[in-house]
Amino acid sequence: WTKMGRQELLCRLKSQLQVLTLDGRELPFSQLGWEKLVPGQPLSQLFESKVQTCAVVSSAGAILNSSLGKEIDDHDVVLRFNAAPTKGYENDVGNRTTIRIINSQILANPSFRFQTSSLYKGLVLVAWDPAPYSVDLLKWYRKPDYDLFTPYVRHRKHHPGQPFYILHPKFIWQLWDVIQGNSLEDIQPNPPSSGFIGILLMMVLCREVHVYEYIPSRRQSYLCHYYEQYYDEACTLGAYHPLLFEKMLVQRLNFGLERDLDRKGKVTLPGFSTVDC
């Protein structure tokens, strides 16, 4: 992998990656009636083929003072993460959100007010939790990192019309395998960040993907998130997640201008449907 050119790498990813969500057909979920609980339409078919451009907005503090809001909102689809708000930050991050990737802490920890906050309404939700690498679904169901299953079931029952998926742990670990395959060192056996999960998901669903402030621009700072006063360089470089390795891979796939990366923290990636192998 590390010796592959960009095109070869893209083809490898295209053939290897399959977006998988819990479809309720495997145990223990099949026994719990999940086949009827999950959305009828698969996540991979959610957007029409007319979806051209997708923006992925990282939550990094460095996006402050970027004035990227309008450019971000001009995309067909805008992806944000966890509890990242737009209110009060529109000029820098935009105000449209089409899809939100949330880790299981958002569902399980009452401080995020998942049931009531407007952050999680009127858009597509995609949740995930770090299951064991072995992908033993029963073991995971009994002991997730944070209980996402109970709030998921409740939410599906109350809002059956909202597309809300749980990523299959197989998909998460496929992504980890990709990051490890691309690194000469052994990376930590922890799942990729929501950012990396979202970027690769968008490469499957969109024709072109623009990622903002995931690879740091010249505004790089230790401010963890644009929406809170908390400083920690691990937010950008990683501690638990293999962030540094994820970012090296994404940088290898970038075909945007060097100037856009430097000024906007913008990376341009092709959708897999446009990659000829």
Contacting residues toward ligand NCC, per CB under 6 A: 58-61, 81-83, 103, 105-106, 193-195, 214, 224-225, 235-236, 240
Using the minimum distance from each CB to ligand NCC, give the nearer residue, 31 or 111.
111
The CB density around residue 273, as the number of other CB atoms within 10 Å, is: 12
The least CB distance from residue 139 to ligand NCC, in Å, is: 22
Please classify residue 89 by burial: count the beta carbons closer than 10 Å to its beta carbon, then call 0-12 exposed, 13-18 middle and 19+ buried.
Answer: middle
CB of 114 to ligand NCC, least distance (A): 11
Q: What's the CA gap between 126 and 250, in Å, rounded?
A: 21
Q: Which residue's Cβ has the minimum distance to ligand NCC?
A: 195
Amino acid at the residue 100: R
Task: Sort strands 208-212 and 228-231 into parallel, antiparallel or unpaired.
Answer: unpaired
The radius of gyration computed from the CA coordinates of the chain, to the nearest angstrom, equals 18
- Comparing CB distances to ligand NCC, the nearer of 15 and 65 is 65
The tokens for 99 are 């899809």
Residue 86 or 194 having the CB closest to ligand NCC: 194
Shortest distance, CB of residue 128 to ligand NCC, whole angstroms?
8
Nearer residue to ligand NCC within complex by CB, 29 or 212: 212
Least distance (Å) between residue 232 CB and ligand NCC:
8
Residue 247: which H helix or E strand, with range?
helix 243-253
Give the tokens for residue 62.
């460095």
